[in-house]
Amino acid sequence: MWTDLIRKYGIMSKRSLDKDIKLERSRDGHLRNRSGRFASKFCHVIFGCERCKNDNDLHFLCPGLFFKFLICILPICLFFSYYPVISFGGSETMNFELSVPLIWLVAFDLLGFILLCKSKKLFNGSRGKWIWLLFPAWLLLTVLWSLNPTRGVLTVGILWLIYFAGYIMWSFREIFDDDFRAKWLKWFVGSTLVVCMWCVLQCILDLAGVSQGYSLMCDGCTYRMFGFPHPNGFAIEPQFMGNLLLAPAIVVAWFLLLKQNHIKPERERSRDGHFYNGSVGLAPVFQYRLLVRDRCKNDNGSRSLCSGFIWFCFAIITTTLFLTFSRGAIYALVVGMLFVSGFVVFGVRRQKRGELLKRLGILWGVVILSFVMALNMQGVMAELSPTDDDYFDGISRVVNHLSLGVINIRSGNSIDNPEIENTKGELREDTFVVVENIEQKSVENSDGNSDDKAVFDGYVTESTDTRMKLTGAALEVWSKDISTMLFGVGLGGAGQAMYNHGLTASPKEIVQNQYASLLLESGLVGISLFIMTIVLIVRLIWIRDSRIVFLGIIVAYGVSLFFFAGLPNALHIYLLPIVIFMLL
């Protein structure tokens, strides 16, 4: 069974097993080498580790151990996208900061480079793959005429590190077996739940008056904005925190929709009366229906991924995403879920649609209940906040803001927002933060007046208008001349270009739209190569059974990129799909 599984997942051929590792089956069913010791997860063959050739297990300094460990902790590192951060100061056009995901990326690429050299895989199988490098190569070339070459060099450096990380994972894809897949999913879902709990605690700390230095709430996230806090976790803004929850929500939804029905491994009842699956790998506990009350276990006896717990995880993740109050993340979740739902319904045979439609209805029911739960929590927080807002004020502002001012549930009462045309401010997450008004309110609150209204009383039109103006400014600069239309202003030069044309107040300003920013910086040539890369990715994953979840994540991330731009604070958009592709 082990050999069949290894050949099925392409870890190595039967000839490699017999020639390189020389394994034989022992009495307990495990494959061992002829010296009677474990083959240490094939570390010797994959990574060229001599000590793992005959050792009893992976030794402490084994490169394979570090390699797997770095991939396992990737979800945790991505959640710390901004806090803690190492600041190296800044210039007139950019800030120099080092975050945990960037440190992970550099460490992973260094280790991967060493392993590729030791295993002689550095350029193995790279022939014919040059087409994948056209897009990053073009971005590297645009740095030569960039208006901000420092930002361009740093940005393209991060992009090449991401590409190299993907190449490393592809070169060592043999390690992504079922056991490792189950372990990574536990880290993935477990770290997501912990961060969701921190987001709730963050709201409580803000309502209790804890300093932002301890609660890590950003300036535009506190209860002073809408009367209730919207958490940003360890990210720089709620926009990024909500975006970090997109992949976990869609992956868990995919398991609930398909894995519970389609994965039906052999089961046998043990002496203690529990069901164990008869196969090795990803703990296929998703096959147990909701009404099955038998305790489900995998081969290791773990019950952490039972069906009911997965439904609970999905509810917690989606509720926290709604609590971030990020329109970009919420819209992206809805579009991604609609894509997955449509793909599931029309991608299966009619005989199997009945059960899927039933489960799909339950799934969307959980999404709606999560929204209602988050809405009520925001109303309660508005009631408990130091402002004089009540429960109804909180929920009315949420509905009005998320509907772009279309829905007003205040019985015809107008929603008044402060005049901010001539006010100093800046765009943060989904809110145009009025800095002067916040400072003025802080002074008033310090004088003992705690009955002030929140800064915003509903939909903030300036938030949408500012994004549209920045996108329009980028397109205006791009269309100035034919050379800019074709080749762009150079990577990293969007802010400087708009500032030079008098369209923004600072060269640090970025286009709040990744596609418009890419078009301005790389021109039609760059955007064409970007589309070609997306087509290559879709062709690569189309033959996989897990293409639904992967395409759903790509669609959700694609929608979210209409609302912000920024590579260092959004590394999860590029790294998570690579790992999920390798695992699923």
Q: What is the pLDDT of residues 19-50, one digit of tens each?
A: 333 444 444 444 333 333 333 444 544 554 55
Q: What is the pLDDT of residues 353-408, one digit of tens each?
A: 677 788 889 999 999 999 999 999 999 999 999 988 889 988 999 999 998 888 88
pLDDT for res 40: 42
Residue environment code for 453-485, b if the CB has 16+ CB neighbours within 10 A, otherwise e? ebbbbbbbebbeebbeebbebbeebbeeeeebe
Mean pLDDT in residue range 69-92: 88
Q: DSSP readout, 155-173?
A: HHHHHHHHHHHHHHHHHTG
Taking Cα atoms as reference points, which of 382, 454, 368, 374 lies closest to residue 418?
454
Per residue, the 3-state secondary structure of 198-257, as one string, reads HHHHHHHHHHCCCCHHHHCCCHHHCHHHHCCCCCCCCCCCHHHHHHHCHHHHHHHHHHHH
- The shares of helix, strand and coil residues in the chain, as percent rounded to the nearest 5, are 60, 5, 35
At 16, list the tokens.
């490699």
pLDDT for res 464: 82
At 343, the pLDDT band (50, 70, 90 cuts) reads: confident
**pLDDT at 51 > cutoff 70:** no
pLDDT for res 482: 93
Q: Which residue has the higher pLDDT, 487 or 410?
A: 487
pLDDT for res 568: 62
Q: Which residue has the higher pLDDT, 50 or 565?
A: 565
Q: What is the pLDDT of residues 250-306, one digit of tens each?
A: 999 988 887 544 433 334 444 444 444 433 333 333 333 332 333 444 444 444 446
At 280, list the tokens.
């090795």
* Three-state SS at 288: coil
Phi, psi of 14 (to 5 degrees): -65, -35
Task: List CB contacts of 27: < 8 A, sequence separation 6 or more.
Answer: none
Strand residues in 296-442 grouped as ranges (E): 296-297, 425-428, 431-434
pLDDT for res 443: 37
Taking Cα atoms as reference points, which of 123, 352, 381 lies closest to residue 230?
381
Residue 338 C-alpha from the chain's centroid: 18
At 533, list the tokens.
């890369």
Lowest average pLDDT, out of 10-19, 124-133, 227-236, 458-467, goes to 10-19
What span, in angstroms and rounded, lies between the C-alpha atoms of 557 and 329?
9
pLDDT for res 349: 63
pLDDT for res 181: 83
| Half-sphere exposure at residue 14, Cβ-oriented, CA atoms within 13 angstroms | 6
pLDDT for res 259: 56
pLDDT for res 203: 94
Q: Specify whether the CB–CB gap between 433 and 219 falls below 8 A.
A: yes
pLDDT for res 351: 55
Q: What is the pLDDT of residues 100-115, one digit of tens each?
A: 999 999 999 999 998 8
What span, in angstroms and rounded, lies between the C-alpha atoms of 369 and 383?
21
* Three-state SS at 74: helix
Percentage, residues of the chain above pLDDT 90: 33
**pLDDT at 458 > cutoff 70:** yes
pLDDT for res 306: 61
pLDDT for res 49: 55
Q: What is the pLDDT of residues 320-329, one digit of tens each?
A: 999 999 999 9
At 310, list the tokens.
């997965």
* Three-state SS at 552: helix
pTM surpassing 0.85? no
What span, in angstroms and rounded, lies between the C-alpha atoms of 441 and 443?
5
Mean pLDDT of the residues in the chain: 76
Q: DSSP readout, 8-30?
A: HTTS--HHHIIIII-EEE-TTS-
How many C-beta neighbours within 10 Å does residue 49 have? Answer: 23
pLDDT for res 453: 78
What span, in angstroms and rounded, lies between the C-alpha atoms of 304 and 134?
44
pLDDT for res 569: 66
Length of the chain: 584
pLDDT for res 13: 37
Q: What is the pLDDT of residues 120-147, one digit of tens each?
A: 777 765 566 788 889 999 999 999 999 8
Mean pLDDT in residue range 46-73: 63
Taking Cα atoms as reference points, which of 251, 275, 257 lies closest to residue 265?
275
Q: Specify whether the CB–CB gap between 509 and 470 falls below 8 A.
A: yes
Q: Specify whether the CB–CB gap between 377 and 323 falls below 8 A.
A: yes
Mean pLDDT in residue range 162-168: 92
**Is the bond preceding residue 238 a cis peptide, omega within 30 degrees?**
no
At 21, list the tokens.
């590792």
pLDDT for res 176: 79
Q: What is the pLDDT of residues 1-20, one digit of tens each?
A: 333 433 333 333 333 333 33
Lowest average pLDDT, out of 66-70, 73-77, 407-411, goes to 407-411
The DSSP call for residue 304 is T
Q: Which residue type does 548 have?
A: I
Highest mean pLDDT among 85-89, 126-130, 418-422: 85-89
Task: List CB contacts of 284: < 8 A, sequence separation 6 or more.
Answer: 259, 263, 264, 265, 277, 298
